[in-house]
């Protein structure tokens, strides 16, 4: 049990030290695989028809953060090859804290294609249908939170512990998108994809204000104004006075596979989304493209609980005046303070539907073809997560040889990390196209020994993603006169 | 081309996956040392309190009108003297008298008889009789002379107002009337009691009686016994007859004998006693009160009560006694009472004396404890014959019962009452056991509060001393005369006297400070004796109660008063198996940042030492000297502002390591008044102290 716990801890710590980019969009953008139309709906796959097999056509998992690396958490000991955590007395906590930022984000993302179908329509049109299950999360931890946890509050005397950036958003939804792209002019091609979103579960923290002011006499002023919206099968039990007693998962929803499936396929939480894109051939060799993706929202109505708290609480010590005066006992004063704190931040529970927006992305890219098969590209992908803006800039060298082989080698600057070399490879044999993509290829590895096994982990990365899958592809229009892949040069 | 590119990718992948292993982390050797050492700083406590918030005014701690704090020790009823402790005034009147009825008057009585000429002549010679018979012819004849003749004895009619009587005085008038037509030369009368035929007195000579006239001779009945049935013998001394013819009638002419008693007083007998005042009864008496104890009462006023009387008659007559107390007035009216007592019986009764004033000083010769009494006694046999004797008597008793006095005026003697020795435990010893150094209480006052309703001089002697073994300090307070009410208008006075440093040694006594205050004494009335005025008053509920009140104004100074106490080491963790993540030794630092704005003229220093009683060693000490500094004072010793003190008390790792090596904690508190204890300071209830304390704690939490 202890061993299992330790293993889990290590994995979690390691996982949390990874970061993610835009789900390998950077690498796949200039490759000749059907999935790149997800990054820009104006892209037209080179195949007349493609079918993404359920669960197999591009499962993408990514976890990224902008502050932690494995080496920030674990270090080699001076003797006995021991491994120390950052909480070891020999570990300088300040070194750990120096790696944190004002806003430290962790973004887990998972997309599992259920069904992907695309086919050419007429001379210039192309339809696509994608059903994808997506889990999208974004957690922001204020830097002061780490300082508070590891060094305490003394250092904040005379200042404020700013936790206003604390945010959390996690949602699981199903996206059904129907896209169409068409060549408008000889150089311009536009694409659009309309999406219907089916929310399954979500939780989000809306933090309007959260801070602790520490005065010179160590009295504290706690300001909190936040709202937690939850749409999930939870049971909220309340006390007689309306106070929340407990929040538990409602097991009745999942006590049989049928119920779980029925819940997952529910349509009460509906939303809409849209992707729009364009490509433009500046010249025969130089092309530019842009896309606005994942613009949309979901209105959550099912199993909604809103937990709201807003107040200010000043703690300047237990006032012993009445204890000294004999009118109250120390316990009573302590209880009053406890009640006061409890009441100040009492959670009120409502069931009002709420809306969450999708973190949308703006993609702008350009490529230059040296030969019909070789090109270089530059891609900017900006992701807007609420007030947070994430930017990734990728330079890539791409090889697209016919419909059988497509490869890309990329360099990406993202999440304050500048050593991300990515690569993608797609091969077609017959009707099958296999692909694997990653935005970051670690050049040096740490070998993690657990029990008798070994796990290789990149020495320094905070962004990891991996997409791999298989498509059924039919037809090849690359050689047709009027239907060429955008990244190929005739 | 495709092949070349594939080989390129494969090569790169191979290099990446195997070529650059930088470090090997053997998680099997992951250190379990997981520590968290945050520095937590928290404002822990605060307060803004005045002394009146801390200590409530109560029986012991008193805030004066000027807010000066005083410690007051009280002991009630150190003196509780009531009337009964001095005097027994419940039975001050108990009068017993016996009254003899003496000689009584009976009404006069009378009886008569006559002797006809015919009966007279029967005692004469026949010849002479014949002359009288012959002359009884209706014509006038010379009345023949005749010689002395003894007439036959005759019974007199019975008397009704006595049956027999022995007279103290009185007379029996014997009258002989000559109804003959010739004069009588005289006569002699003999009176006999029919019973025993005893003669009453001797023969009664009657002088010559002219015709038609009568002669009376009185017999003194003193000491004579007379019955109501008498017989008489008349002896005529003869007659000279007439020289002129007269009518001679044997049956119409006679000699009449009358016997009558008058001015009769009987000593005894069986008599009918008419209603009469008993003259042997003088009618004036004196009721003497006996309050005892040398008391000389001039006046008594009762609110309620009774004079109970009991009259026992040993006489066959009905007796009526009238009692009058001229100087005793109930609601302004003289007290009188009339009591009728049937023959040979007892009569009891009550004379209420509610709202009654007794003047006991009306006798100029003995102007106290006496009231005059005027009585009258009447008797009667109500027309019946009673067996009376002049020695018959009635006895009377008079008693004042259940008196509730309004007041008594007079002289009340020199009674004394002892105040039993007792003590007040001050509780100082429990504190002082742990205190060293000295302090001086500047102005203690012991106040004796008393309530006195004895309107007369009472001298109180109050002895007290402080005791702190083996040391004693005497109070040295002289006796004093207590104030008393200006009676009768004022019935009670409440007053007090103070024992202070000007009239006693109280200041050194209190500054001992004593464990016990031992007191005793006595109260003496009229210490100057009797001035003859008898103008003092006591009241029915007169009492003298006194309480003692030790008042210690918080006016003192001390330069180094130290309080030390040793307690069990409550910080020590005795549970060796305790798996609590935080142990005392895990603390690297505990700092208490104390800020005090002190308005008290007292400064405090604190030392806390961890002590190992086994080795007798102090393991670690935290010294917080001048943790709170005293406020500045004015010339009167009153704080005139506040002193701000900011102190950090650090409990370092050494201290925490020593916690589990020590079994005791010694606390030492030092107290110093303002200006280094050189001046007296006063403590007022509105002094304030404002403080806050923050804890800064750095612990090393092992989370393994």
Closest chain B residue to A405 measured between Cα atoms?
Answer: B2
Closest chain A residue to B16 measured between Cα atoms?
Answer: A443
CATH number at residue B325: 2.60.290
> Which string of b and e fits B21-53 if b means at least 16 CB within 10 Å?
eebebbbeebbebbbbbbbebbbbbbbebbbbb
d(CA A271, CA B129): 189
Verify that B225 and B323 share a domain, yes or no: no
Verify that B287 and B261 share a domain, yes or no: no
Higher-confidence residue of B556 and A275: namely A275
Decide if B33 and A88 are in contact by the 8 Å CB cutoff: yes
B1: nearest CB among A151, A320, A401 = A401
B23: nearest CB among A93, A318, A446 = A446
Verify that B539 and B498 share a domain, yes or no: yes
CB pairs under 8 A between A and B: 173
d(CA B129, CA B144): 10
Indicate whether B300 belongs to any domain. Answer: no
Verify that B77 and B138 share a domain, yes or no: no
Chain A contact set for B2 (CB, 8 A): 401-402, 404-405
B5: nearest CB among A214, A399, A442 = A399
Indicate whether A27 belongs to any domain. Answer: yes
DSSP-derived letter for residue A56 is E
Taking the Cβ of residue A10 and every Cβ of chain B, the question of whether any pair is shorter than 8 Å is answered with: yes
d(CA A14, CA A259): 35
Verify that B435 and B472 share a domain, yes or no: yes
Indicate whether A190 belongs to any domain. Answer: yes
Indicate whether B299 belongs to any domain. Answer: no
Verify that B234 and B380 share a domain, yes or no: no
Residue A379: per-residue pLDDT: 92
Indicate whether B93 belongs to any domain. Answer: no
Chain B contact set for A459 (CB, 8 A): 22-23
Verify that B607 and B499 share a domain, yes or no: no
Closest chain B residue to A80 measured between Cα atoms?
Answer: B29
B694: nearest CB among A84, A217, A425 = A217
Mean pLDDT of chain B: 88
d(CA B396, CA B377): 12
Please state the rounded mean pLDDT for residues B653-674.
Answer: 87
ipTM: 0.75
The pLDDT tens digits of the residues spanning B475-529 come to 999 999 999 999 988 999 999 999 898 999 988 888 888 888 898 988 888 999 9
Report phi then psi at A68, rounded to 5.
Answer: -110, 145
Decide if A151 and B38 are in contact by the 8 Å CB cutoff: yes
d(CA B27, CA A14): 12
Residue A295: per-residue pLDDT: 95
d(CA A75, CA A430): 49
pTM of the model: 0.61
- Please determine, for residue B693, whether its predicted confidence score (pLDDT) is greater than 80: yes
Best residue in B31, B58, B589 for a mutation probing chain A (most A CBs within 10 Å) = B31
Under a CB-based contact definition with an 8 Å cutoff, are residues A67 and A104 in contact?
yes
Residue A25: per-residue pLDDT: 65
In Å, how far is B36's CA from the nearest CA of chain A? 6
Share in percent of chain B as helix, strand, coil (round to 5): 10, 55, 35
A405: nearest CB among B2, B21, B695 = B2
The pLDDT tens digits of the residues spanning B521-549 come to 888 889 999 998 999 999 988 998 988 88
Residue B5: per-residue pLDDT: 44
B458-468 vs A405-414, strand pairing mode: unpaired
Please state the rounded mean pLDDT for residues A164-173.
Answer: 90
- What's the domain count of chain A? 1
Chain A contact set for B20 (CB, 8 A): 443-445
- What's the domain count of chain B? 4
Residue A488: per-residue pLDDT: 39
Count other Cβ atoms within 10 Å, centred on residue B265: 18
Verify that B687 and B579 share a domain, yes or no: yes
d(CA B93, CA A291): 132
Domain limit, last residue, from B534, B550, B566: B550
Structure tokens at A87: 């909480």
The pLDDT tens digits of the residues spanning A56-79 come to 777 777 777 777 777 778 887 766
Under a CB-based contact definition with an 8 Å cutoff, are residues A209 and A224 in contact?
yes
Indicate whether A116 belongs to any domain. Answer: yes
A445: nearest CB among B6, B21, B29 = B21
- Least confident piece of the model among A419-433, B43-57, B405-419, B582-596: B582-596
B43: nearest CB among A7, A148, A219 = A219
CATH number at residue B152: 2.60.120
Count other Cβ atoms within 10 Å, centred on residue B383: 12
Residue A404: per-residue pLDDT: 82
Mean pLDDT of chain A: 82
Indicate whether B297 belongs to any domain. Answer: no
d(CA B365, CA B406): 26
Chain A contact set for B43 (CB, 8 A): 215, 217-220, 315-317
Nearest to B463 by CA among B514, B421, B516, B415: B421
Structure tokens at A450: 């657990």
Residue A134 belongs to domain spanning: 2-364
Structure tokens at B62: 């008193």
Higher-confidence residue of B572 and B46: namely B46
Decide if A401 and B694 are in contact by the 8 Å CB cutoff: no
- Least confident piece of the model among A291-305, B132-146, B504-518, B605-619: B504-518
Under a CB-based contact definition with an 8 Å cutoff, are residues B627 and B605 in contact?
yes
Q: How confident is the model at residue B569 (pLDDT cuts 50, 70, 90)?
A: confident
Chain A contact set for B48 (CB, 8 A): 321
Structure tokens at A38: 């997800």
Please state the rounded mean pLDDT for residues A211-229.
Answer: 90
Please state the rounded mean pLDDT for residues B193-200.
Answer: 93
Taking the Cβ of residue A76 and every Cβ of chain B, the question of whether any pair is shorter than 8 Å is answered with: yes
CA A444 from centroid of its chain's CA atoms? 25
Report phi then psi at A257, rounded to 5.
Answer: -55, -35
Verify that B47 and B118 share a domain, yes or no: no
Residue B463 belongs to domain spanning: 72-87+413-550
DSSP-derived letter for residue B483 is P
Indicate whether A452 belongs to any domain. Answer: no
Structure tokens at B20: 């650059």
Residue B635: per-residue pLDDT: 92
d(CA B295, CA B300): 12
d(CA B631, CA B598): 6
Verify that B468 and B392 share a domain, yes or no: no
Q: How confident is the model at residue B656 (pLDDT cuts 50, 70, 90)?
A: confident
In Å, how far is B429's CA from the nearest CA of chain A? 25
Verify that B218 and B152 share a domain, yes or no: yes
3-state secondary structure B605-632: EEEEEEEECCCCEEEEEEEEEEEECCCC
Chain A contact set for B1 (CB, 8 A): 373, 401
Chain B contact set for A150 (CB, 8 A): 36, 38
Total residues belonging to chain B: 704
Cβ partners under 8 Å of residue B575, min gap 6: none
Structure tokens at B208: 């010559």
Percent of chain A scored above 70 by pLDDT? 89
DSSP-derived letter for residue B159 is P
In Å, how far is B604's CA from the nearest CA of chain A? 17
The pLDDT tens digits of the residues spanning A139-161 come to 889 999 999 988 899 889 999 99
- Please determine, for residue B1, whether its predicted confidence score (pLDDT) is greater than 50: no
Verify that B522 and B565 share a domain, yes or no: no
Residue A463: per-residue pLDDT: 56
Please state the rounded mean pLDDT for residues B71-88.
Answer: 83
In Å, how far is B28's CA from the nearest CA of chain A? 6
Indicate whether A470 belongs to any domain. Answer: no
> Which string of b and e fits A131-160 if b means at least 16 CB within 10 Å?
bbbbbbbbbbbbbbbbbbebbbbbebeeee
Taking the Cβ of residue A12 and every Cβ of chain B, the question of whether any pair is shorter than 8 Å is answered with: no
């Amino acid at each position: 049990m202890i061993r299992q716990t330790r293993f889990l801890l290590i994995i979690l710590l390691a996982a949390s030290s990874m970061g993610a980019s835009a789900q390998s969009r950077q690498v796949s953008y200039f490759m000749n695989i059907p999935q790149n139309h997800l990054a820009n709906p104006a892209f037209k796959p080179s195949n007349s028809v493609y079918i993404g097999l359920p669960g197999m056509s591009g499962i993408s998992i990514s976890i990224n953060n902008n502050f932690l690396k494995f080496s920030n958490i674990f270090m080699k000991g001076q003797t006995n090859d021991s491994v120390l955590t950052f909480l070891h007395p020999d570990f300088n906590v300040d070194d750990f804290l120096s790696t944190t930022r004002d806003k430290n984000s962790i973004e887990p993302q998972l997309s599992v294609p259920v069904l992907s179908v695309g086919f050419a329509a007429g001379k210039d049109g192309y339809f696509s249908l994608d059903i994808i299950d997506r889990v999208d999360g974004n957690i922001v931890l204020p830097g002061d939170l780490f300082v508070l946890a590891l060094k305490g509050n003394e250092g904040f005397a005379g200042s404020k512990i700013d936790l206003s950036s604390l945010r959390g958003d996690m949602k699981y939804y199903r996206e059904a998108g129907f896209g169409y792209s068409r060549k408008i002019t000889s150089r311009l091609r536009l694409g659009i994809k309309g999406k219907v979103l089916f929310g399954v579960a979500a939780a989000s923290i809306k933090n309007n204000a959260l801070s602790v002011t520490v005065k010179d006499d160590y009295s504290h002023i706690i300001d909190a104004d936040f709202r937690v919206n939850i749409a999930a099968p939870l049971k909220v039990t309340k006390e007689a006075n309306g106070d929340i007693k407990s929040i538990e998962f409602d097991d009745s929803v999942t006590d049989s596979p049928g119920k779980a499936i029925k819940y997952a396929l529910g349509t009460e939480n509906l939303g809409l989304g849209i992707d729009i894109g364009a490509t433009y051939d500046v010249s025969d060799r130089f092309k530019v493209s842009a896309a606005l993706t994942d613009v949309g929202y979901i209105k959550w109505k099912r199993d909604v609980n809103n937990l709201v708290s807003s107040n200010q609480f000043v703690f300047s010590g237990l006032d012993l005046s009445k204890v000294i005066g004999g009118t109250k006992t120390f316990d009573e004063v302590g209880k009053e303070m406890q009640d006061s704190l409890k009441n100040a931040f009492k959670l009120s529970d409502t069931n009002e539907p709420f809306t969450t927006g999708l973190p949308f992305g703006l993609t702008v890219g350009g490529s230059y073809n040296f030969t019909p098969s070789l090109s270089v590209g530059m891609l900017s992908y900006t992701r807007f997560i609420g007030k947070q803006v994430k930017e990734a800039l990728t330079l890539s060298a791409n090889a697209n040889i016919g419909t059988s082989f497509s490869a890309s080698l990329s360099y990406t600057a993202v999440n304050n990390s500048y050593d991300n070399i990515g690569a993608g490879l797609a091969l077609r044999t017959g009707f099958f196209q296999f692909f694997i993509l990653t935005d970051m290829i670690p050049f040096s590895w740490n070998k993690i020994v657990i029990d008798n096994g070994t796990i290789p982990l990149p020495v320094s990365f905070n962004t990891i993603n991996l997409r791999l899958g298989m498509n059924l592809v039919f037809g090849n229009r690359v050689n047709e006169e009027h239907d060429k892949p955008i990244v190929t040069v005739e | 081309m495709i092949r070349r590119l594939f080989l390129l990718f494969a090569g790169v992948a191979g290099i990446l996956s195997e070529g650059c292993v930088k470090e090997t982390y053997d998680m099997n050797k992951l250190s379990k040392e997981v520590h968290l050492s945050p520095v937590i700083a928290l404002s822990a406590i605060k307060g803004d309190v005045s002394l009146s918030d801390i200590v409530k005014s109560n029986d012991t701690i008193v805030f004066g009108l000027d807010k000066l704090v005083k410690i007051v020790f009280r002991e009630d009823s150190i003196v509780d003297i009531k009337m009964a402790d001095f005097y027994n005034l419940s039975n001050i009147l108990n009068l017993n008298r016996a009254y003899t009825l003496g000689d009584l008057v009976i009404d006069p009585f009378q009886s008569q008889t006559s002797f006809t000429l015919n009966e007279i002549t029967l005692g004469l010679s026949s010849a002479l009789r014949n002359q009288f018979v012959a002359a009884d012819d209706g014509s006038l004849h010379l009345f023949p002379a005749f010689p002395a003749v003894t007439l036959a004895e005759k019974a007199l009619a019975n008397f009704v107002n006595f049956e027999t009587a022995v007279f103290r005085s009185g007379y029996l008038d014997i009258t002989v009337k000559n109804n003959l037509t010739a004069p009588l030369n005289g006569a002699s009368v003999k009176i006999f009691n029919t019973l025993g035929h005893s003669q009453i007195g001797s023969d009664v000579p009657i002088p010559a009686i002219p015709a038609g006239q009568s002669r009376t001779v009185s017999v003194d009945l003193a000491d004579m016994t007379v019955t109501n049935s008498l017989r008489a013998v008349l002896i005529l001394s003869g007659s000279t007859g007439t020289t002129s013819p007269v009518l001679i009638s044997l049956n119409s002419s006679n000699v009449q004998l009358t016997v009558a008693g008058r001015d009769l007083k009987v000593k005894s007998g069986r008599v009918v006693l008419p209603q009469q005042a008993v003259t042997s009864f003088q009618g004036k008496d004196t009721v003497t009160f006996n309050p005892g104890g040398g008391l000389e009462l001039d006046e008594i006023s009762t609110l309620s009560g009774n004079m109970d009387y009991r009259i026992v008659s040993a006489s066959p007559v009905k007796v009526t006694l009238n009692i009058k107390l001229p100087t005793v007035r109930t609601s302004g009216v003289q007290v009188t009472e009339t009591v009728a007592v049937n023959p040979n019986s007892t009569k009891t009764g009550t004379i209420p004396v509610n709202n009654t004033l007794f003047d006991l000083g009306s006798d100029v010769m003995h102007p106290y404890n006496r009231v005059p009494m005027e009585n009258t006694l009447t008797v009667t046999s109500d027309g019946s014959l009673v067996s009376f004797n002049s020695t018959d008597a009635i006895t009377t008793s008079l008693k004042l019962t259940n008196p509730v006095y309004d007041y008594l005026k007079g002289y009340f003697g020199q009674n004394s009452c002892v105040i039993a020795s007792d003590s007040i435990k001050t509780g100082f010893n429990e504190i002082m056991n742990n205190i060293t150094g000295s302090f001086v209480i500047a102005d203690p006052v012991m106040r004796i509060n008393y309530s006195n309703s004895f309107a007369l001089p009472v001298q109180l002697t109050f002895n007290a001393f402080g005791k702190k073994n083996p040391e004693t300090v005497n109070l040295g307070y002289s006796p004093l005369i207590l104030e008393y009410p200006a009676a009768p208008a004022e019935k009670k006075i409440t007053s007090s006297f103070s024992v202070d440093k000007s009239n006693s040694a109280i200041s050194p006594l209190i500054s001992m400070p004593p464990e016990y205050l031992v007191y005793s004494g006595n109260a003496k009335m009229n210490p100057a004796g009797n001035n003859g005025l008898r103008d003092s008053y006591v009241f029915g509920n007169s009492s003298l109660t006194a309480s003692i009140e030790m008042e210690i104004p918080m006016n003192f100074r001390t330069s180094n008063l130290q309080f030390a106490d040793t307690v069990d080491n409550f910080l020590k963790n005795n549970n060796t198996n305790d798996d609590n993540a935080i142990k005392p030794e895990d603390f690297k630092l505990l700092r208490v940042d104390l800020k005090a704005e002190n308005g008290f003229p007292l400064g405090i220093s604190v030392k806390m030492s961890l002590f190992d009683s086994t080795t007798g060693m102090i393991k670690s000490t935290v010294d917080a000297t001048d943790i709170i500094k005293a406020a500045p004072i004015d010339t009167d010793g009153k704080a005139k502002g506040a002193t701000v003190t900011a102190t950090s008390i650090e409990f370092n790792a050494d201290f925490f390591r020593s916690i589990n090596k020590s079994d005791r904690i010694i606390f030492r508190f030092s107290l110093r008044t303002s200006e280094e204890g050189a001046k007296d300071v006063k403590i007022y209830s509105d002094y304030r102290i404002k403080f806050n304390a923050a804890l800064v704690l750095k612990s090393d939490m092992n989370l393994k």
